[in-house]
Amino acid sequence: MKYIATIDEQDFAIDVHANGQVFDISVEDFDRPIDCKRISPSRYSLLIDGKSYLMQVQKNQTGFEVFFHNHPVKVMIKDEVDLLREKFGMGDIAAEMHGVVQAPIPGMVVQIAVEEGQTVEQDASLMVIEAMKMENEIKAPIAGNIKKIHVEQGQNIDKDVILIEIDPE
């Protein structure tokens, strides 16, 4: 998943891929891979160039406070959904009204019932996500045309990942 991290008013593009409990992280202009493993709810172990670093992350009102080498750094994170909402100048309800369908839970996409370009009615079945051995049907929040499908069948996804974009009729 792609993110923009703002640190000291400077933006950094970050790409994160989950491999079980280990995350592969790419940061723009930083050519070395970063392996990140959560070791507690707020602590992470980073492996960069064979060296291990500890980091603690605490959520606050405006984003996160990251303690690295015992120095606090304020970090704001925007994911793909935040960036799309920002682009269109909208909040959660407006995003849904404009057909941005997000994953309500983490899980695996077990079925995609639509194709790009297809016309759907409101509440039409779009896909099924399996989480904790339960299948969860994802329905269209609005009627319209399927503009973009962002996931594939069999793909593991995180909560709030953009699944589908629908152009309203």
Rounded-to-integer distance, Cα 74 and Cα 60, Å: 9
Residues 6 and 66 in one domain: yes
Rounded-to-integer distance, Cα 111 and Cα 130, Å: 9
DSSP letter, residue 131: E
Residue 119 — pLDDT band, cuts 50, 70, 90?
Answer: very high
% of the chain surpassing 70 pLDDT? 87
Rounded-to-integer distance, Cα 51 and Cα 31, Å: 15
> CATH number, domain at 110?
2.40.50.100
Asked if the model's pLDDT at residue 116 lies above 80, the reply is yes
DSSP string, 32-65: EEEEEEE-SSSEEEEEETTEEEEEEEEEETTEEE
End of a domain among 79, 106, 141?
79
Residue 113 in tokens: 């019932």
Q: Tell me which residue range forms the domain holding 17.
A: 2-79
pTM: 0.47
Tens of pLDDT along 12-56?
A: 888 877 776 666 777 877 767 788 888 888 888 988 888 999 999
End of a domain among 48, 79, 110?
79
Residues 56 and 107 in one domain: no
Residues 107 and 158 in one domain: yes
> CATH number, domain at 48?
3.30.700.30
CA 94 to chain centre: 18
Tens of pLDDT along 78-108?
A: 877 777 766 665 554 444 556 788 888 889 9
